[in-house]
Amino acid sequence: MNKEVVLSDGQPASVRVLGLFELDAVGPDIPGPYRYSILTYTGQVYEAEYQLPDIPPVKPTDERPETGTPEWQQLRDYETYLCALAYRDKRGQAVEEWLNNCAAYILAHCLDEGTRRRLVEPEDYQAVYAAATVPRLRMEDIESVLRSTFRAEFAGLEVLSALFNMEPGGGKVNAVALWESQLLNALGLVTPEQEAQYAHLPIVDRARKVAAFKLSDWLGALEADRVHREIKRAS
């Protein structure tokens, strides 16, 4: 599927629309949010996403405090902050490299040679990038249609919130990309052209299709988890 844009020379240009997940292979991998371990008073350790504070923690004067003391916790907080700063810089570099690679990929795979030579102004590149790319479906988009269209909830919670509150397993996955891929397969949209036509739908329509396709599975998984928890509590 191609889109037509008008470049700064006043003439139209044809731009190939990328597939939904075509840029996923461009690389590099972009790290997720920085996570750190928290030790509770009961001795349990769990991971949480770290939010950089508006006011940085104070660097402690004692670099070898006794374990468990307030000074020791202060040192841990400060070191965690430094690690998060370094991680943010590393992630920023990965994002910048990925964006540059995406731009190069679009120029190489979405335009013919003649059109590439006509790109002379920043607006030309912006028009081409906008035409070639399609918006990613987000969790928030699906949650919105679950509320507004399907009035869906489970035990007083939003369906996706309840789903992610289930007992975690060891696997990790981009859930939205998986659900949309499953929908495409179920609809038989397997060619790049078919995928591009689907991707041209408004985000709200894509979210509604994914929600309608997966809602029964989600509710079934939640009900099975509820029964499993009740059995565990009773045993």
- What per-residue confidence (pLDDT) applies to 47? 75
CB 225 within 8 A of CB 167: yes
For residue 16, the cross-strand partners are 2
Give the contacts of 200 (CB within 8 A, at least 6 positions apart). 1, 17, 134
What is the structure's pLDDT at 171?
58
* The pLDDT value given to residue 48: 79
Per residue of the chain (235 residues), what is the pLDDT tens digit? 899 999 999 999 999 999 888 898 888 888 888 887 776 666 667 777 888 988 999 888 888 888 878 888 888 889 999 999 999 999 999 999 999 999 999 999 999 999 999 999 999 999 999 999 999 999 999 999 999 999 999 988 899 989 888 766 655 788 999 999 999 999 999 888 888 889 889 999 999 999 999 999 999 999 998 898 888 888 7
Res 105: pLDDT:
96
Assess contact for 184 and 206: CB atoms under 8 A.
no
